[in-house]
């Protein structure tokens, strides 16, 4: 059973932490509840506070602020995301961003740290358990290396991480009701919360490249999934993110669940964030249009289509081509694009996708 495991390539420190915290969550946490019960009015809220504080520090801080520079933030916001981001135990912001920028540059290729083509387990957690390559040279994060707060966190990441993740909940528990409450707070808001949050983050690397739709691009494996968005603070609209990675939004549609986007917007209104980067609506719709056209072309190449279906789809494809040509002329002649024009384009794309569904086909997946 164990003969195929490359023990010489195991990252023992990381593996011990990931497996150890999982083991404690499955054994020590239930044992504590059985023996002492749970302080529902303190320990459960503390769990959710730490889960949200550390989780948003990853999505808002590590990801959208530091990795993609999608907005600028006040030093207080940057400091808090670095502190609670350390409490997520997902490495320093410098290393996290270095690996994430590499992921975007080489997505689905061998240089991608969590390449989904190597399997779901590898993309989820295997790349952490087995370090098959040397440490990154940090040559893609020179901007972060000039940031004193980022470098301070990088130097003391383990001290900060243990203090925030375990020391802080235990101290609050002790102040609440002595050592017994401190132990429970450590197990719930510390150990179990770290495990749950880490696997939510890992799902972005694995399941967000595995399930869902690809309405903006099929050039890579990233997918949009509202289910994943619920568990990942809005990061589940991953196909959009890979196509427009510098946008501070992942859920770009008004109805899409993206609490990280809402917090960034709120911070901007409070003067704690600025220069929020947004992709123009016409560019987003044109990306959808191009991908829908590609989908039509693929279906028209199918030999399984009846003549009636081929004619139906061909007519819809020609209509999309006419719309695409019209939009190109608008751009060439620098005609102002109005909300009404954007709404019309959105409707045309929806009608075209409905035409595919009526004929038994799905939109780009």
CA 236 to CA 256: how far, in whole Å? 10
Residue 284 near residue 217, CB atoms below 8 Å: no
DSSP annotation string for 73-102: E-HHHHHHHHHHHHTTTS--HHHHHHHHHH
Q: Is the pLDDT of residue 292 over 90?
A: no
Q: What is the pLDDT of residue 294?
A: 76
Span 217-244, pLDDT tens digits? 988 999 999 999 999 999 999 999 999 9
Q: Is the pLDDT of residue 335 over 90?
A: no
122 vs 321, more confident: 122
Residue 171 near residue 88, CB atoms below 8 Å: no
Q: Hey, how many other C-beta atoms are within 10 angstroms of the C-beta on 102? A: 18
Instruction: Tell me the mean pLDDT in the region 328-336.
Output: 62
69 phi and psi angles, rounded to 5 deg: 50, 40
Task: State the pLDDT confidence band at 289, using cuts at 50, 70 and 90.
Answer: confident
Of 19, 91, 86, 14, give the one whose Cα is nearest residue 50: 86
Domain boundaries, the chain: 7-274, 281-358
Q: Is the pLDDT of residue 1 over 50?
A: no
Q: Is 147 left (phi over 0), alpha (psi -120 to 50) or beta?
A: beta
What residues contact 138, with CB distance under 8 A and at least 6 apart? 94, 95, 98, 145
Give this prediction's pTM. 0.87
Percent of the chain with pLDDT over 90: 69
Q: What share of the chain is helix, strand, coil (3-state, %, to 5)?
A: 65, 0, 30
Q: What is the pLDDT of residue 282?
A: 75
Q: What is the pLDDT of residue 77?
A: 98
Q: How many CA atoms lie within 13 A of 67 on its CB side?
A: 26
141 vs 11, more confident: 141
Q: What is the pLDDT of residue 274?
A: 97
CA 154 to CA 159: how far, in whole Å? 10
357 vs 129, more confident: 129
Q: Is the pLDDT of residue 59 over 90?
A: yes
The position carrying tokens 């969550």 is 25
Q: Is the pLDDT of residue 325 over 80?
A: no
Q: What is the pLDDT of residue 239?
A: 96
Kind of pairing between the strands at 72-73 and 273-274:
antiparallel
CA 26 to CA 1: how far, in whole Å? 23
CA 187 to CA 24: how far, in whole Å? 8
Instruction: Tell me the mean pLDDT in the region 293-308.
Output: 63
342 vs 116, more confident: 116
CA 11 to CA 27: how far, in whole Å? 24
- H-run or E-run covering 342: helix 339-358
Span 89-146, pLDDT tens digits? 999 999 999 999 999 999 999 999 999 999 999 999 999 998 766 778 899 999 999 9
219 phi and psi angles, rounded to 5 deg: -75, -15
Q: Is the pLDDT of residue 338 over 80?
A: no
Q: What is the pLDDT of residue 287?
A: 81
CA 80 to CA 241: how far, in whole Å? 24
CA 133 to CA 343: how far, in whole Å? 48
Percent of the chain with pLDDT over 70: 78
């Amino acid at each position: 059973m164990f003969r195929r495991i490359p023990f010489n390539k195991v990252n023992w420190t990381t593996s011990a932490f990931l497996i150890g915290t999982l083991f404690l969550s499955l054994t020590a946490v239930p044992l504590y509840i059985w023996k002492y019960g749970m302080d529902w009015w303190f320990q459960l809220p503390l769990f959710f506070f730490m889960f949200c504080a550390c989780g948003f520090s990853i999505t808002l801080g590590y990801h959208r602020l530091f990795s993609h520079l999608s907005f600028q933030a006040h030093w207080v916001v940057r400091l808090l995301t670095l502190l609670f981001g350390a409490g997520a135990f997902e490495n320093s912001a410098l290393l996290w961003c270095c690996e994430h920028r590499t992921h975007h540059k080489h997505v689905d290729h061998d240089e991608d740290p969590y390449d989904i083509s190597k399997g779901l387990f590898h993309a989820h957690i295997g790349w952490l358990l087995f370090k098959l390559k040397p440490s990154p040279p940090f040559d893609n994060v020179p901007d972060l290396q000039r940031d004193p707060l980022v470098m301070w966190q990088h130097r003391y990441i383990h001290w900060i991480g243990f203090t925030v993740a375990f020391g802080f909940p235990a101290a609050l528990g002790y102040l609440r009701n002595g050592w017994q409450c401190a132990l429970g707070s450590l197990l719930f808001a510390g150990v179990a919360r770290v495990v749950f949050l880490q696997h939510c983050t890992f799902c972005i690397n694995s399941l967000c490249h595995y399930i869902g739709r690809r309405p903006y691009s099929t050039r890579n494996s990233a997918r949009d999934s509202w289910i994943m968005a619920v568990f990942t603070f809005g990061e589940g609209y991953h196909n959009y993110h890979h196509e427009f990675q510098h946008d501070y939004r992942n859920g770009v549609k008004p109805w899409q669940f993206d609490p990280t986007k809402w917090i960034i917007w709120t911070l901007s209104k409070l003067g704690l964030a600025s220069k929020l980067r947004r992709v123009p609506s016409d560019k987003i719709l044109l990306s959808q249009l191009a991908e829908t056209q590609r989908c039509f072309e693929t279906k028209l190449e199918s030999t399984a289509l009846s003549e009636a279906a081929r004619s139906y789809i061909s007519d819809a494809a020609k209509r999309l081509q006419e719309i695409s040509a019209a939009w190109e002329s608008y751009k060439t002649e620098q005609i102002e694009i109005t909300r009404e024009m954007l709404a019309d384009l959105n409707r045309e794309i929806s009608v075209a996708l409905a035409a595919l569904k009526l004929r038994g086909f799905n939109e780009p997946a």
